[in-house]
Amino acid sequence: MYTVPDQSGTFAVVTGSNSGTGKEAARRLAEAGARVVLAVRTPAKGELARAEILARHPGARVEVRRIDLADLASVEAFAGEVLADGTPLDLLVNNAGVMAPPTRMTTADGFELQFGSNFLGPLALTVRLLPALLAARAPRVATMSSGTANFGRIDFTDLQWERRRYNPMLSYAQSKLADLMLARHLAVLAAENDWPLRSTAAHPGYTKTNLQTAGASLGTGRPSLGNRMMYAVDFLPKQEVGPGTEPLLQAATSPDATAGGYYGPGGRFGLVGPGKQVRITRRALDPAANARLWARAEELTGVGRASAVTAAR
């Protein structure tokens, strides 16, 4: 089992931390001594997660703040609160996401939901939090991707699935490939600008959380018959949340994690087992494509100016 290094004095933000890998990561960071912000869309669920963490670790420093990554105004407001605190941000864990809603849905800003929530929102948050991150001595950003990134394609002519027929899983794969490209390009920006920031990525393999069913229920209230049948006959190896969170924790805290590195399970089919550094799909190894996607995301989210100001510091 991966042991999180001492996090005393560390200030961390973990998105999507009311359940699943986010809650587990927040708990183990807090257990190791970090002050952790549970960045969640529904504060009531965040408070339940906080209570669970405190029940196990009464001395944990955990607080709940609201953010909706599908709403850029919410992202800006959340980042503004963190910056107003004046506390250097040592660690940002971009964990939150939505998976495979059955029909094409959109964010508050009109973006396709998976591309907007899983990629554009986290990128906007990362850029807006750069001043707080760069005020820390050795800041880190760990971004959750997915094994489905291996099947993803970035269609720059139709990022929002407006021309093509919407496909839930291919849309999800595109958004998770975009997350991996985000982590890779952020590492390049850090090197180019001589920032002390370390950007990494992870995937959980096949970890049993509510991500699969929650996304499949959006807009309908319950998963489709096809979705239920798929999971009923699913014989793939899978693991619990504890081991499934370890690659993310390695990416976020291991002193050996490399800039731009990618971490995932090292067992059967890359779905289960102890975390290790894993192969990166070639589609995330093209620096020009990564830079192009980042620039397009800055345009779509309106954070380009914030990025330029931070880089000039």
Catalytic positions are: 172
Backbone angle region of 281, left / alpha / beta, with phi > 0 → left and psi within -120 to 50 → alpha:
beta
- How many other β-carbons are positioned within 10 Å of the β-carbon of residue 156? 9
Question: What is the layout of strands, in order, in the sheet containing 61-66?
Answer: 61-66, 35-40, 11-15, 91-94, 140-144, 198-202, 262-265, 275-277
Tell me how far apart the alpha carbons of residues 140 and 137 are, in angstroms, rounded to a whole number: 10
CA nearest to 25, candidates 14, 37, 34: 14
In whole angstroms, what is the distance from residue 294 CA to residue 152 CA?
16
Pair 203, 247: CB distance under 8 Å: yes
- Which of 94, 184, 178 is CA-nearest to residue 144? 94
Distance, CA of 43 to CA of 193 (rounded, Å)? 36
Q: Do residues 78 and 66 touch, judged by C-beta distance below 8 A?
A: yes
